[in-house]
Structure formats: C-alpha cells, structure tokens
Amino acid sequence: MLAATVALPAWAGLAELPAPRAGKAIGARASAASAAAARAPSGAGAQPAAPVPAAAEVTDPMERLRLRLSERLATPGAAPASGTLDLRVGTRGAAPRAATAAAAVPAATAAGPAVHAAPAAAPRPTARDIGAGQAEGIAWSRPPGGAAAAAPHRISAPAVAHAPAGPATVRPPRRTSATKATPGHANVHGHAGHAWSYEGAGGPATWGTLKPEFALCARGERQSPIDIRGGLPVDLEPVRFDYRPSAFAVVDNGHTVQVNVPPGNAIEVGGRRYDLVQFHFHRPSEERIDGRQFEMSLHLVHKDGTGRLAVVAVLFGRGPAHPAVQTVWNNLPLERHEEVAARAQIDPVHLLPEDRRYFTYMGSLTTPPCSEGVQWVVMRTPVTLTPEQIELFARIYPMNARPLQSAAGRRILQSQ
C-alpha cells in the first residue's frame, strides 16, 4: 500500500487536488493564503506569476504536484518559501523500511541548512525517482532558507561491496592435450630424435648430415647391418643366456615397437657380462646371411658396466606362431611415445631359437647416432612368425630397416 503525506505552502496549489484514489491515502496541509501573499514581492517592479496551463490539464495528483513544484522552483526571482516539504513513500510489506524513511525526515529537517544545503545545479527529483522509491524508500526535504532544490536522500538497504576494478589481467591459455609436448625417441639402441626416418628427406642417406652426433652414420668404418658371408668356423664359447620371466613395458617410439625390461636379465659373451636393457623389431630383417633377407628381425640390446653394447639378433621367417612375440603384440599401446606396462610377464629366453649357434662380428648401432664398438651376436637359425603376426607389425611399420653397410674386410666368426 502506498501512503504519502505532504506539507506544502499555498503556492503549490494543492487545494485543487482531487480526493485520493482507492488504495492510497494522501494528506495535504497548506498555510493561509495571506501568508503566501505576504511573502510575495511588492512594488512597481513586481511581476505577475506566470500561468500554468499545463498543470491544470493534468489529472494525476502526484504529476500535478510535480509540475507545480518544477514551475515554481524554476521561476526567476521567486520568493523563498517557508515551511518544509515532506514526502514519505512506502510499499505494502515494507513497513520497517517505510518507518525508517519517516524517522529520517524530521531529523533531516531539524538539522537545518548546514546539513541539507545543496548546490543550485543539483538535479531535481523526477517521477522516475518516485517510481524507484516504491522499491527502496525515498525521503525528500526542502530546507528553510530558500535553497533552490535539495538533492534527494535515498534510504535503502546497504549496497553489496564490490572490489575496485583493477587492470585487466591476461592469462595464458591452459595447456591441453592438443598442446602437450611430444617426448623424444632416444634409447640405448640409438633411436634418437631430430627428424630421422627410413625414407624421404630424413632417410638413411642423410643421417650423417642431420646432426654432428650422427656423423658416424656417413663416415664410420664399422657400420651395421652387413651381409654375413664367409664366416670363419671356430670353436666359440657358447653365449650364456641368463634370462628369466620379467615384467615389461611396450612403447612405440616412432621408429619401432620397443620392449623395455627391468634389470635382472643378462648374457655372458667373450668373457663380459651384459645386462638386457630392451629389445625391438625391424621389418624386413636388417641382417642377411649369404645374401638372404628374412621377413623380420629382433634385436636384444645389452650393456655392460662400462657402457659397451652387445646386441643379439634373431631372424624371423614364416611358419608357426611365436607365443612370446604374440605376448608383445597383445600389449601394444594405443598411442605413440606412450609406454604401457604389460599385464603379464615375458621370459626373453623364449624369443631365442633352440639352436644357439651364432655369428659374431664388431659393428655399430643400426640407427642414429650409429655408434661403433658394438659386438653383434647373430643367431644362425631363424625362428618363425605366422603371416598374421608379420602383417600386424607391417601395418605399423611397413619398412624400418637400414640398408646394408660395407663389411670392409671385417672378421666374422661363426660357432660350430
């Protein structure tokens, strides 16, 4: 419910206001007409008050009041009016706030001009301000002493504090899987990065020019692989394979499928013990025996305590399935460069042929940086894979074999 109480001087013309409408109660008190006349200017220079035809045509009491106040306050030379203008507006259901507004009016009036004086340029209240007051409560006060217009005093609930706006902060984008860095391909068998490949611009013919560290790929004198011919048959000490069932992890390093194994597997050859580090696959076989190339080959890479390397090569032909190789295929990762721990164990001894006779010679890694001083042990008897097992790898790497390198008069020994 809206309730308004107005105390105005006679010049406001409130006597012409009609009775309040239903749902509202408006009281008006006016001073005597003689008091208004006494305050009016006198003498020959007195100007008659300007007619207000616009206000007479307005039927809404509040709008008529606003127009008359605006016209009176805007009239040059108007005499200051005594008394006060009190307006209290409230809404149904907001009694406490209306009471607060009502209590604020007398206190503001008693404070005098020192409290309520406002500059002449202050904006006048409008019907829009009154409409807003229905929601938050408004008290207007015209102090005695003739100030042209008093600034409206709004009484409302405390405003929510907001932090002061600071300078804009530019945040870097979060890093997502689309921007994640790709790890390198390095491992102990020379699968280093730097855009080398088996074909095209980064192919084997260019390896030696890609990085200074790869120079041996072009000018080395003991490079691998080679075509093994004319081995010297001698009574070589058998290679001792100290392999056992082990956990393993599979990674597609961008050049081959590689299997990493923990310490605990080793070989002894030539009086040295080498620990198995990893094994990986090539298609077709890199090594040849008397000019014959095989479907695939397996390289088991070992390293001793001084960093010297020994690689055991196993050749694959077509035939029955190879269960140990199938165990690796069953644990292939979904993504390249993602190492995945296998769900089972593998015994590397099951990768070997039953016939353990071998060839041996000194060579190099078959991938950059093509480091030399590697002892090669090439098993003379191949093992078999099914066409399906070969095709599975071929779909990932159709060709990942380095071309043959010159034997350069190297001595090749073969066990009896």
Distance CA 57, CA 62 (A): 13
Please give the C-alpha separations between residue 166 and each of 162, 169, 259, in angstroms, as whole numbers.
12, 9, 55
d(CA 208, CA 369): 8
Rounded CA-CA distance 98/90 in Å is 5
Taking CA atoms, 91 is separated from 25, 99, 125, in Å, by 12, 11, 19
322 is annotated as an active-site residue: no
Six token digits for residue 134: 């229905």
User: What is the rounded distance in angstroms from the CA atom of residue 332 to the CA atom of residue 343?
Assistant: 11
Dihedrals phi, psi of 50, to nearest 5 degrees: -70, 140
Calculate the alpha carbon distances from 15 to 11, 29, 165, 298 in Å.
10, 9, 52, 112
CA distance 129 to 123: 11
Q: Using an 8 Å Cβ cutoff, are 375 and 269 in contact?
A: yes
Q: Which of 256, 288, 258 is closest to 276 using CA atoms? A: 258
β-sheet with 227-228: strand ranges across = 227-228, 288-289, 292-293
What is the enclosing helix (H) or strand (E) of 327? helix 323-329
The CA-CA-CA angle for residues 223, 227, 230, to 5°, reads 115
Distances (CA, A) of 259 to 6, 189, 281: 94, 12, 9
Q: How far apart are CA 107 and CA 116, in angstroms?
A: 11
Q: Where are the extended beta strands (E) located within 43-155?
A: 86-88, 138-141, 153-154
At CA 348, angle to CA 273 and CA 254, rounded to 5? 100
Residue type, 133: G
Kind of pairing, strands 372-379 and 309-318?
Answer: parallel
* Residue of 116, 185, 189, 255 with catalytic role: 255
Q: Annotated active-site positions, please?
A: 255
